[in-house]
Structures are given as structure tokens and as C-alpha cells.
């Protein structure tokens, strides 16, 4: 009984693969390494380098391994990029999932966990936002995820598949032991940029929009620690194995912090100061996004351990320090070779 993880060499995927492997699960990964890193997979986890929408590759992997469930992380993830390249986002998020589901149905794989996003809601009428809120994505990224959610629902109804769609809110932090973390070069996530500033890799951080009708004028987000999120995937898998009905679940803590509060948390835990510059609003940004978490807490056996902004910031910082020294060392090494 093996779990196929697509995008398992990426940020959230690698933390989930680690959680699964530590729990004694058999895991295989398909990843094209477009933004992932093979070095972040635990020893002994087979990696097939290729496209998660390549049906021949999928057939080959399934023929070699006894796959019972699929966790589908592979995709393109940057909201502003999706505004510039919508067709690329519809291909890599929607078409890839369509091909993967096609093979899953043909091979009778009956359990599927899908990485969706709070971006499907757009600007919510109600905060915290429940799963039944209207879906009005503001970006092709959000639309491509919503289209995939709808397809998964239809496929499950037609072929008897069980699924859990997880709508992640803002994923942040790193493995508490700093074994893995977010390593994408040019990442756009707020906490990543703040810890890059705190480690001296950036001269400043821009705050995109300080004129929103929020208490301090900046946007508000619900940050979830990546290790807690990885455990939510294990819990979702257990739920499906126990015969749980297909469902869609918000993944957050249900508490919002403003962009300015988040930057302050990084300043506090790092004890380092860095320049903060007020900048215009970023197109496509949602103002306030906080999860109603009652459904996930009610349905899954999931107990978050790192529900604290300073802990998230501290883990992100410890990982960034390690990554910076590794990369810096590599550069020095290359220069002297």
C-alpha cells in the first residue's frame, strides 16, 4: 500500500513526504523539479523525475508500485505570475490534474487528496470564511484550482472515488529541526521575504498596500505552519481510509495577522532590524483572508502544534539562516575552484 505524492520535492510536498515517511508509510514521488529539490526528500523515497500529467510515466509508476492513494501537490503557485501567464497556469494546474485523474480512474485508485487554496474565495463577504462561502477567485491561479476542485468532485461522483480537497491558507515556517524549508529562489511569500531581509539578503521589504480598511491599513492573513499542514494530510489520509465521505476543508488556524504585524514578528524573533517601505497595493491581492476552521477540527483527528506567529517566524528564520550559509558556502567553494 503506497502513497503517490506528486510535487513531493516542493515546499509543502517535502514536509508531507517527511511526515508520511516518519509515520512508516511507503511513499513514491513524481516531481519535475521545476521548483522542487530532490535533496529535500528523505533517504529511500523513490523519486520519478517528470511531469505529473504524463500518463505514460504515471502508468509506469503505478505498474511498479502498489498505489492506493494520491496526494497531488504538483502545480504552479505564484498568484501574480498567473495574471501574466494564465494559459500556463491552466495547463499546469488544471490539465495536469485531469491527466492524473484519468490514470487514477483507469487504475482504480480510489483515494485522492488535492492541494487547493484560499484564493478560490476571492474577497470573502464573511470572515472567518467557511467552506460554503461563494467562490469568486481574483486570479487565474485561484480559478485553475477551483476548476480542478469541480472536476475532482465530478470524477468522484462518476467513478466512486473518495477525495479530500484541502484549501490551504498562507503556508509558512519550516521543519522545526530545520532539515527542510522553503528554498525556492525568488519566492514571493511575505514571511520568506521578511526572513530574507532579516538575514541581510535583501536591503528592504515592501508592504504592498497600507490604505486597506483594516486596523493598520495592511492586508490580513491566516498563517499555518507547514509542519501542521503536513500532519493535516496524514489525518486526511486516515479519514479517507476509515471510509470518510469526500469533503473540502479549510486549512488555517482561524486567526489573522496583518502584513505589518507579521514583519514585526520577524523583527522580534530575529532581533535584527531591516528597512520596511510602504508600496502601492499589489494587483490580485485579497484584503482579509482568515479561515473558519470548524469543519477540519470536527472531521479530522488533527491537533496543530505550532499555532503561534512567533514560532512560525522563528522556524522560518532558522531555516533561512541555514540555507543562506549553505548557499554562501557553495558560492565561496565555486569561486575558489
Ligand X SMILES: O=c1ccn([C@@H]2O[C@H](COP(=O)(O)OP(=O)(O)O[C@H]3O[C@H](CO)[C@@H](O)[C@H](O)[C@H]3O)[C@@H](O)[C@H]2O)c(=O)[nH]1
Which of 161, 260 has the CB closer to ligand X?
Answer: 260
Is residue 207 close enough to count as binding ligand X by CB under 6 A? yes
DSSP 243-279: TPPPEEEEES-S--EEHHHHHHHHHHHHT---EEEEE
- Shortest Cβ 236–ligand NAD spacing (Å): 14
- Shortest Cβ 115–ligand NAD spacing (Å): 4
Query: Which H/E stretch holds residue 310?
Result: helix 309-336
**Edge-to-edge, what's the strand order for the sheet holding 26-31?**
47-49, 26-31, 2-6, 67-72, 111-117, 162-168, 247-251
Residues 213-252 interacting with ligand X (rule: CB under 6 A): 219, 221
Which one of ligand X, ligand NAD, none interacts with residue 79, CB within 5 to 8 A by kind?
A: ligand X
Catalytic residue among 89, 90, 141, 168: 141
**Residue 293 and residue 320: Cα distance in Å, rounded?**
29
Contact (Cβ atoms closer than 8 angstroms) between residue 140 and residue 98: no
246 φ, ψ (degrees, to nearest 5): -55, 140
Provide the grid cell at 229: 499542514
Helix/strand/coil for 8: coil
Which one of ligand NAD, ligand X, none interacts with residue 9, CB within 5 to 8 A by kind?
A: ligand NAD
Among 18, 35, 109, 142, binds ligand NAD (CB under 6 A): 35
Residues 258-287 interacting with ligand X (rule: CB under 6 A): 259, 282, 285
Helix/strand/coil for 194: helix
CA distances from 266 to 171, 243, 313 (A): 15, 42, 6
Total residues contacting ligand X by CB under 6 A comes to: 22
Helix/strand/coil for 192: helix
Is residue 79 close enough to count as binding ligand X by CB under 6 A? yes
Among 3, 69, 90, 96, binds ligand NAD (CB under 6 A): 96
Q: 141 catalytic, yes or no?
A: yes
- Shortest Cβ 264–ligand X spacing (Å): 13
- Shortest Cβ 252–ligand NAD spacing (Å): 10
Contact residues for ligand NAD, defined by CB under 6 A: 6-7, 9-13, 30-36, 51-53, 73-75, 77, 92, 96, 115, 117, 168, 170-171, 184
Contact residues for ligand X, defined by CB under 6 A: 77, 79, 117-119, 168-170, 188-190, 193, 205-208, 219, 221, 259, 282, 285, 289
Q: Which residues are catalytic, by number?
A: 141
Amino acid at each position: 500500500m503506497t502513497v503517490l505524492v506528486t510535487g513531493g520535492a516542493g515546499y509543502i510536498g517535502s514536509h508531507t513526504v517527511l511526515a508520511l515517511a516518519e509515520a512508516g508509510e511507503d511513499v513514491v514521488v513524481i516531481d519535475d523539479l521545476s521548483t522542487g529539490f530532490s535533496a529535500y526528500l528523505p533517504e529511500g523515497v523513490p523519486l520519478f523525475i517528470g511531469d505529473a500529467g504524463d500518463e505514460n510515466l504515471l502508468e509506469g509508476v503505478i505498474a511498479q508500485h502498489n498505489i492506493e492513494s494520491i496526494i497531488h501537490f504538483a502545480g504552479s503557485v505564484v498568484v501574480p505570475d498567473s495574471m501574466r501567464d494564465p494559459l500556463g497556469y491552466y495547463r499546469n494546474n488544471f490539465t495536469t490534474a485531469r491527466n492524473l485523474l484519468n490514470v487514477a480512474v483507469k487504475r482504480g485508485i480510489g483515494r485522492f487528496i488535492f492541494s487547493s487554496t484560499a484564493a478560490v474565495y476571492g474577497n470573502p463577504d464573511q470572515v472567518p470564511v467557511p467552506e460554503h462561502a461563494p467562490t469568486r477567485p481574483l486570479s487565474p491561479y485561484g480559478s485553475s484550482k477551483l476548476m480542478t476542485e469541480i472536476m475532482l468532485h465530478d470524477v468522484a461522483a462518476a467513478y466512486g472515488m473518495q477525495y479530500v480537497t484541502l484549501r490551504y491558507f498562507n503556508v509558512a515556517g519550516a521543519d522545526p529541526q530545520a532539515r527542510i524549508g522553503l528554498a525556492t529562489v525568488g519566492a514571493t511569500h511575505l514571511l520568506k521575504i521578511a526572513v530574507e531581509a532579516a538575514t541581510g539578503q535583501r536591503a528592504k521589504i515592501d508592504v504592498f498596500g497600507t490604505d486597506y480598511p483594516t486596523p493598520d491599513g495592511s492586508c490580513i492573513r491566516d498563517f499555518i505552519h507547514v509542519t501542521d499542514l503536513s500532519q493535516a494530510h496524514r489525518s486526511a489520509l486516515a479519514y479517507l481510509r476509515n471510509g470518510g465521505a469526500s469533503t473540502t476543508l479549510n486549512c488555517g488556524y482561524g486567526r489573522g495577522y496583518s502584513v505589518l504585524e507579521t514583519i514585526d514578528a520577524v523583527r522580534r524573533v530575529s532581533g535584527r532590524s531591516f528597512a520596511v517601505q510602504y508600496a502601492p497595493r499589489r494587483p490580485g491581492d485579497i484584503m482579509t483572508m482568515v479561515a473558519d476552521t470548524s469543519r477540519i477540527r470536527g472531521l479530522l483527528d488533527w491537533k496543530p502544534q505550532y499555532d503561534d506567529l512567533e514560532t512560525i517566524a522563528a522556524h522560518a528564520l532558522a531555516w533561512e539562516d541555514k540555507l543562506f550559509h549553505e548557499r554562501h558556502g557553495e558560492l565561496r567553494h565555486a569561486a575558489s575552484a
